[in-house]
């Protein structure tokens, strides 16, 4: 049996923007939103606006989420060690999962308080709410734009972008709610708007949570067709059979593959293996591939029938 391992400097999902490119964006976003949270919470208390306080709470969770994502991105750059032979690249996946869970907690807190307020509506200083929320639209939009270019290549970056873009939309909702409440005098509009905010956050968080859980369970990354990979490998000259094919994320931006190729005619040489690895990177954006060549199909597939595909 012969094996070959390939590590490419290209990121596993085929996107050139890694989380390490966004250190300044994280720092700027954390500072801007941290200041805004303090302003928004203060004026929410002064104005007696649950919608404003709910938005401040959500923004605080986003600040913590940005911190977690930034820490995860930095840990992912740690060099391999005897204990962590891949380094700490999986930290970016854990960061995305923690970020999503943190948002779920924030959603529950917002919804609970809004329901309590529905039974006892409070008067709200609409003008103050509108001014503060309008500032939020500007800050959140600016922060979202910092992450826009990397949102397709890393769920950490995508999470930051979605949260900031959603915050801008939520702040716009707060402005609309305050205007309607000023025009109608209905106090229940404020807590109802809080529930709408919670629903928007949940809608935008769910996809991030699902993707983070899948990555944590070593699922094949989205965008990679495992059947197509299997077909490509099976069609290689000299390959009689393909088994033990596994594809999983090492981090939010890097993908690994291991596979056994049954080649009865013998090992084809390193040039063949390097060509296969380049094709895997070019066609499927798999930057880390380990290929084992076998002379017969006598080896047992340790994970059962499912590992043959």
Average pLDDT of adjacent 10-residue blocks, the chain of 309 residues = 50 39 85 89 80 74 83 86 88 88 81 79 69 86 85 77 78 79 77 81 84 92 92 93 92 91 88 93 92 78 52
Token pair recorded at residue 69: 């994502």
Using CA atoms, how far apart are residues 255 and 247, in angstroms rounded to an integer? Answer: 7
Using CA atoms, how far apart are residues 72 and 37, in angstroms rounded to an integer? Answer: 23
CB 280 within 8 A of CB 289: yes
pLDDT score recorded for residue 20: 46
Which CATH superfamily, name and number, covers 2-8+221-308?
Cation efflux protein, cytoplasmic domain (3.30.70.1350)
Q: For residue 77, what is the DSSP state?
A: T
CB 140 within 8 A of CB 108: no
Strands lying side by side in the sheet with 288-294: 2-7, 288-294, 255-262, 241-249
pLDDT tens for 200-220 read 878 878 888 998 999 999 999
Using CA atoms, how far apart are residues 78 and 85, in angstroms rounded to an integer? Answer: 11
pLDDT score recorded for residue 15: 38
As a whole number of Å, the end-to-end CA separation of the chain is 20
CA dihedral 60, 61, 63, 67 (to 10 degrees): 140
pLDDT score recorded for residue 2: 56
CB 139 within 8 A of CB 36: yes
Using CA atoms, how far apart are residues 102 and 131, in angstroms rounded to an integer? Answer: 28
Where along the chain do its domains lie? 2-8+221-308, 19-216
**Domain 19-216 part of CATH 1.20.1510.10:** yes
Task: Classify residue 2 by burial, with Cβ atoms within 10 Å: 0-12, 13-18, 19+.
Answer: middle
CB 250 within 8 A of CB 89: yes
**Which helix (H) or strand (E) element contains residue 119?**
none
Contacts with 175 (C-beta within 8 Å, 6 or more apart), sequence order? 129, 130, 133, 134, 137
Contacts with 245 (C-beta within 8 Å, 6 or more apart), sequence order? 226, 229, 230, 233, 257, 258, 259, 260, 307, 308, 309
**Ramachandran sector of residue 257 (left: φ over 0; alpha: ψ -120 to 50; beta: rest):** beta
Token pair recorded at residue 256: 């690994």
Contacts with 192 (C-beta within 8 Å, 6 or more apart), sequence order? 114, 118, 177
pLDDT score recorded for residue 13: 40
pLDDT score recorded for residue 11: 36
């Amino acid at each position: 049996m012969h094996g070959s391992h390939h590590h490419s400097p290209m990121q596993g999902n085929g996107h050139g923007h890694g989380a390490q490119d966004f250190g300044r964006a994280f720092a700027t976003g954390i500072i801007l939103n941290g200041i805004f949270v303090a302003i928004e919470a203060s004026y929410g208390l002064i104005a007696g606006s649950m919608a404003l306080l709910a938005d401040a709470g959500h923004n605080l969770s986003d600040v913590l989420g940005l911190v977690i994502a930034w820490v995860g991105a930095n840990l992912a750059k740690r060099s391999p060690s005897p204990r962590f032979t891949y380094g700490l690249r999986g930290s970016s996946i854990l960061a995305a999962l923690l970020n999503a869970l943190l948002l779920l907690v924030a959603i529950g807190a917002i919804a609970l308080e809004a329901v309590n307020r529905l039974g006892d509506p409070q008067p709200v200083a609409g003008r103050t709410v509108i001014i503060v929320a309008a500032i939020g639209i500007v800050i959140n939009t600016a922060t979202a734009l910092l992450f826009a270019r990397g949102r397709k290549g890393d769920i950490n970056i995508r999470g930051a972008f979605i949260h900031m873009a959603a915050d801008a939309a939520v702040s716009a909702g707060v402005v609309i709610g305050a205007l309607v409440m000023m025009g109608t005098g209905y106090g229940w509009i404020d807590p109802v708007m809080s529930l709408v905010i919670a629903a928007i956050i949940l809608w935008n968080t769910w996809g991030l949570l699902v993707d983070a859980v899948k990555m944590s369970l070593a699922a094949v990354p989205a965008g990679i067709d495992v059947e197509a990979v299997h077909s490509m490998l099976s069609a290689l000259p000299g390959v009689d059979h393909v088994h033990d094919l596994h594809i999983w994320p090492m981090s939010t931006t890097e993908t690994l593959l291991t596979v056994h190729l049954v080649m009865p005619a013998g090992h084809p040489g390193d040039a063949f293996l390097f060509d296969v690895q380049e094709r895997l990177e070019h066609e499927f954006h798999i930057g880390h591939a380990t290929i084992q060549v076998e002379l017969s199909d006598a080896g047992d597939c340790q994970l059962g029938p499912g590992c043959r595909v």
